[in-house]
Amino acid sequence: MAKYIFITGGVVSGLGKGITSASLAYLLKSHGYHVAMQKFDPYLNVDPGTMSPYQHGEVYVTDDGTETDLDLGHYERFAGVRCDRHSNYTSGKIYSSVIAREREGGYLGATVQMIPHITDEIKEAIRSAAKPGIDIVMTEIGGTAGDIESLPFLEAVRQFKNEAGTGNAIVIHLTLVPFIKSVGEMKTKPSQQSVSILHNIGIFPDVLVCRTEVAMAEEQRRKLSLFCNVPDDYVIEERDVQHSIYEVPQELADRGLDNKVLELLRLPVTESHLDDWHELLDRVLHPQKSCRIALVGKYAGLRDAYKSIFESFAHAGIALSTKVTCDMVEAEELETDCSKLDAYDALLVPGGFGSRGVEGKIAALRHARTHGIPTLGICLGMQCMVIEYARSVLNYNAANSTEFDEATAYPVIDLMENQRGVTSKGGTMRLGAYPCQLVKGSLAAKLYSELSISERHRHRFEYNNAYRAELEKAGLKVCGTSPDNSLVEMVELPDHPYYIGCQFHPEFKSRPFAPHPLFVGLVQAALNHQIKE
């Protein structure tokens, strides 16, 4: 039977529950246990797929095509777990399921209520992760204690823990212990009040993980233990790391969090194996080289909008012992002048939706193509590569995507035929993992070191095959397609130092121990670009 860990948060949002949860999962896996992870979000959207990145950060996509919270990226990257549709539930998803069942008569005429029907649905969602072979299920509850939206989830956790029995389910509460610089003192009161809210709900945390800027004195630890009803040994300090989030697992291991959790769950405290992580961390902290890369996007005001891309650069940097500095450049600022890009060693143009910033991305790609700057285009970035090449090389000045100009005379990017006339956004997208066949001898094949790959998608519009022959004859080569050759997945310029685009999102499959080849290739090309200059 699986054991369960629930992670809640208090005082403020943005404390890093996702990274803390993923780091703990990695430590538990290092003891030999099989871990599954979930994120429950209290908002009413069914999923984050239609939400602005400024509202929610990036939308992370799993192999099975589920659009999820970005914390699932931390789960897959840190812990090496594989997430799916059972890994992310929202209030909207829970309520929709209950209402649909009520409409079908599934409750046999009963009055449908928050308790027990909504909470029962949440508990069933928790159990859905306990697949055969899973030892521990970790469930992170989004939001903070006291949020109205989170109350049904917290009530379900209370019920679930009580039903599971002692030693089968625990609650870890992540909280903030702020240091007030003006008085030179650490304050425990916010954490006390946060835990008090949980006590009023009927949840008594087993472990208190305290985010701090400075070292916690024994006096503060005893105070938190006394007022939060948590044994002193289970008040864990999680101090801000100095250099990289990849220091967090080691920080928690040094505090003995993994051993304490196993003891609470009444599982054998086996020896952990962290040698690989120590080696990785050493490469993170002691790079031998450095490079600067510009990320030309339309959400430059929020780094979380491109979270997986930044992490993919970190992974590539680890592989090449390189510190990769990735600066966000607002695409709209480049529409008339791209000279600022000359200060960078490489360029990445990411995905996105809507017309804002597209002309700036196209201008940036024209500059990178003609000035020999290594470039990677992802999803819309690849589509902009095609548009720019059609305009500049084929002299199709009106070339565009029908996403931005339905009447364009040269629709080099267009909807697939079976999507025409459909206005729904989510229902017509290519979502999740699809196979791709690479062209033998291409740069793409060289980077991947294989011809058959699988990558995750999130888009509606495709490369228009009607222009394929013309574009290839002009030099923009197709280097990856769907297995039946009907969909173009990748393009490249063979006579350029590094100019390659992909319709999929490679950042979703990059891992610290398995960096994505397209990012490794771009960073290596950036280093080569430095040498040439």
At residue 118 the predicted structure's pLDDT band, cuts being 50, 70 and 90, is very high
Amino acid at 255: R
Percentage of the chain modeled with pLDDT above 70: 98
Which pLDDT belongs to residue 533?
A: 61
Which pLDDT belongs to residue 65?
A: 95
Which pLDDT belongs to residue 422?
A: 45
| 418: three-class secondary structure by DSSP | helix
Taking a C-beta distance cutoff of 8 angstroms, is the pair 346, 375 a contact?
Answer: yes
Mean pLDDT of the chain: 94
- Compute the average pLDDT of residues 319-339: 95
241 DSSP assignment: P
Active site residue 199: no
Q: Say which of 56, 117, 459, 505 is annotated catalytic.
A: 505
Domains 3-280 and 288-532 share a fold: yes
pTM for the full predicted model: 0.94
At residue 424 the predicted structure's pLDDT band, cuts being 50, 70 and 90, is very low
Q: Say which of 155, 436, 507, 529 is annotated catalytic.
A: 507
| 406: three-class secondary structure by DSSP | coil
Q: Are strands 452-459 and 67-68 parallel, antiparallel or unpaired?
A: unpaired
The β-bridge partners of 413 are 401, 463
Burial 484-521, CB ≥16 within 10 A → b, else e: eeebbbbbbbeebbbbbbbbbbbbbbbebeebbbbbbb
The string of pLDDT tens digits covering residues 140-192 is 999 999 899 999 999 999 999 999 999 999 999 999 999 888 888 899 999 99
Where are the chain's structural domains? 3-280, 288-532
Active site residue 86: no
- Compute the average pLDDT of residues 197-220: 94
At residue 86 the predicted structure's pLDDT band, cuts being 50, 70 and 90, is very high
Q: Say yes or no to pLDDT of 250 above 50.
A: yes
Distance, in Å, from the CA atom of 311 to the CA atom of 292, rounded to the nearest integer, reads: 15
Q: Which fold has domain 288-532?
A: Rossmann fold (3.40.50)
Q: Can you list the alpha helix ranges (DSSP code H) found in 376-476?
A: 380-392, 443-448, 468-473
Q: Which fold has domain 3-280?
A: Rossmann fold (3.40.50)
Higher-confidence residue: 422 or 211?
Answer: 211
Q: Say yes or no to pLDDT of 452 above 50.
A: yes
Active site residue 507: yes
Q: Say which of 326, 379, 384, 436 is annotated catalytic.
A: 379
- Compute the average pLDDT of residues 189-208: 96
Distance, in Å, from the CA atom of 445 to the CA atom of 111, rounded to the nearest integer, reads: 59
Taking a C-beta distance cutoff of 8 angstroms, is the pair 2, 136 a contact?
Answer: yes
Instruction: Please state which of the ranges 29-43, 49-63, 160-174, 504-518 shows the lowest mean pLDDT.
Output: 49-63
- Compute the average pLDDT of residues 106-125: 96
